[in-house]
Structure formats: C-alpha cells, structure tokens
Amino acid sequence: MTAPPLPTEIHRVELDPQAPLIIVDVDEVLAMFMRGFEQFVGGHGYEMRISRFALFQNIFSVEDGAVLDLERGRELFDQFFATAVEHIDPAPGAREGLADLAAHGSIVVLTNAPAHGRAPRSRWLNRHGFPYPLVINAGLKGPAVAALAARTAGPVAFVDDLLPNLESVAQSAPDVLRFQMVADERLRPYAPEAPDRHARIDHWPQLSAAMIEALTGRD
C-alpha cells in the first residue's frame, strides 16, 4: 500500500531553524474530542458507552442497542467535522501548557482530519488560544514528524494519544522525544501504551513541565 503524500504545508510552516520544536496532536490532547462527538451523536439517536479505546465501537443505538455500524459512523464523523467540530471543549490546561512550551521553541499542530475540517478546526484552535501553525495529515504521523524535525537543528518533541502514531514516529524519526497523552479520563484505562518507549503523562501541567525539562535540560 502506498503511503499518503506528505502534507504540502510542512515546508511552508514558519519555525525557528535553531530552536526546539514541539509537534502536538489535537484530539484527546488539545481537544476533548470524544465528549464533543458524544454530544453530537446524542442528537442522532445514539449514545456513548466507553468500554474500549475506540470510537465507533463505543457508540450504540438508543432505540435497539445495536453498535454503530462503520458506514453510518463515517457519515456521522464527516458531518461532525462539517458542522459541530468547533463546539469541542479544550483539554484542561492545554492552552497554558502550550503557552509555556512556546516560550522555549516553535509549536506546530499536527492533526489527522478530513479536508473539509481544516477551516473549522483552524477557527477552533484560534478561538481557544492555540494560534499555532496547523498541518492536516493523513495516515500514520511518522513521515510528517520526520519532515518537520528535519527543518530544525534543535531538539524535537511529539505528543499524541495514539500508540500507532508514536510508534510510527519512533521508526521514522527516532531522535524525536515522544509523549503520550489521553485527555478524556474515561479512555485512559483502555489506551494501549508503551511507557518504556513513549512517556505517558495525561495531565497538561505535568506534561508541559516534563517536555520543557526534556527539551532544555532544566525545569
């Protein structure tokens, strides 16, 4: 299978070529995606019952209790990004944590989202105090992180909730510092992790402090 092409904006992002670089995911890192999607599907006859680290498999019909099928799930997902993604709440402490990190280097937001979600996602980021360059990715994030990391001589850190993305970065850009965060406390017990390879910190005050220490060598 051919890998998706790299996002074209990677090479247009403004960043300091000598400073540390922080690359951060949106959903379940900056944004409470599951809670927002839960509210959205609630208006379409479904309810969320979280029992695994997944999306559609945690959603059930209120009428008959059937699990949401994949095709209908994708329809709702696309509708959500088109009409309701701007209503997600930010993760507690995320704005302050990124502001602290921005004092030490460049910030790039790297998210997987449908193309039609770019404008609403950008508006959401700016509205909630995340005025950083946005890169829309497709597929695993290792190649995109590697391409961004190649643009600076400084240390690079990456934050994501998904273990496959962290493993992808470990393979494509092994020198990048990797941190896992899951903002929704209901999902945390079910999230696959590998703390021996990727530091797991689920609260922004502790996460930003650990990242600053790792990037700069000091508290």
Cα 147 from Cα 145, distance rounded (Å): 5
In 3-state terms, what secondary structure has residue 36?
helix
The residue-averaged pLDDT of 168-175 equals: 98
Q: CA–CA separation, 71 vs 181, rounded Å?
A: 29
Percent of the chain with pLDDT over 70: 98
Q: What is the pLDDT of residue 219?
A: 41
Tell me: pLDDT of 5 over 90: no
Domains of the chain: 8-32+88-216 (3.40.50.1000), 34-87 (no CATH)
| pLDDT one-digit tens code per residue, 195-211 | 999 999 999 999 999 99
Residue 139: Cβ within 10 Å count:
15
pLDDT of 82 above 50? yes
pLDDT digits (tens, 9 = 90+) for 102-124: 999 999 999 999 989 999 999 99
